[in-house]
Amino acid sequence: MATGGRLNPSANTPTPQAEADGRCASSPLYGVSDIDWSAPWLADWRAVGEPMAQRIVSGQPQPEVLSAAGLAPVRFVPQSELPDGQAYEDFIFATGQVPTREGLHDFFNALCWMHFPLAKKRLNQLQAQEIARAGVGQVRGPVRDAATVFDENALLIQPSDALWAALTEHRWQDALISLRREWAHTRLWAFGHAALEKAVRPYKSITVHLWRVPQAVRAAEIDAWLAEDLRAEKLAQKPFSPLPLLGVPGWWPANEKVDFYDDRSVFRPRRGASSPEKPYANQEIGSLA
């Protein structure tokens, strides 16, 4: 897999329209044609996503291609369908339609709707309920904030207790070297579409936020389980644990060398209990307000 340079930070700066939508800005630097479908984090998405990407690259409008697949409980419509002044999440909840821009960000969002239809509907319901309760506002409440972090950046993981403890305590040497053999039978599901957009041109500091899946949950049940697990009270507690994406054993050739994990600017020690890190404090997320 070819490596790529770090995204221009300005490409992830929210535009006025993105801020009005409540969505992250879509990077103009890369497009659907740049996706490397052999990337391990796209293994579950390739069969559905690659044929649609080919049709989009051939010139068909992205919303048209995504809706024609008939694999999501929503329709994908051009961005122009979103009325001025209406919140993006509220529009989806009210109409069952997802305003969709051309480009990677909304393409991966649509694929997530196809792979996790129940969980995406649940996230949208939570967002719409929070908007109805508190309005859009300049600052999101804890539930809406955490739901957005999850939607944009989650990676589902089904680890052993030992591996989960090492990850949440930021004991990177234990989690990624001493317990390395465990990763061969640790199930991972990509979810966050903003993280997948960044990973089209991978760089070391891309950070996802882990959401733990119990060992008893079977792969075929993951969407239904997740839709039940995404409760407002749980999200408000922000039970995420950050992980640099390219640190996953087997997901990046350079991490076969032990010194890959010595970079403390990426594999950071855990902060003290007196000042817990908010999941969106990492520079990969930025302010979600």
What average pLDDT does the chain have? Answer: 87
User: What DSSP designation does 158 have?
Assistant: E
Which residues in 17-32 are b (16+ Cβ under 10 Å) and which e? ebebbbbbbbbebbbb
State the pLDDT at residue 45: 97
| Bridge partner list, 209 | 154, 242
pLDDT at 21 over 70: no
Least confident among 64-78, 240-254, 272-286? 272-286
Q: 252 Cβ partners below 8 Å, 6+ apart?
A: 1, 202, 246
27-66 pLDDT per residue, tens:
667 999 999 999 999 999 999 999 999 999 999 999 999 9
Q: What percent of the chain has pLDDT over 70?
A: 84
State the pLDDT at residue 14: 37
Residue pair 31/201 in contact by the 8 Å Cβ criterion: no
209-232 pLDDT per residue, tens:
999 999 999 999 999 999 999 999
* pTM reported for the whole predicted model: 0.85
Confidence of residue 137 (pLDDT cuts 50, 70, 90): low
CA gap 96, 73 in Å, rounded: 8
Q: Nearest-CA neighbor of 140 among 240, 16, 235? A: 235
The mean pLDDT of 107-116, rounded to a whole number, is: 98
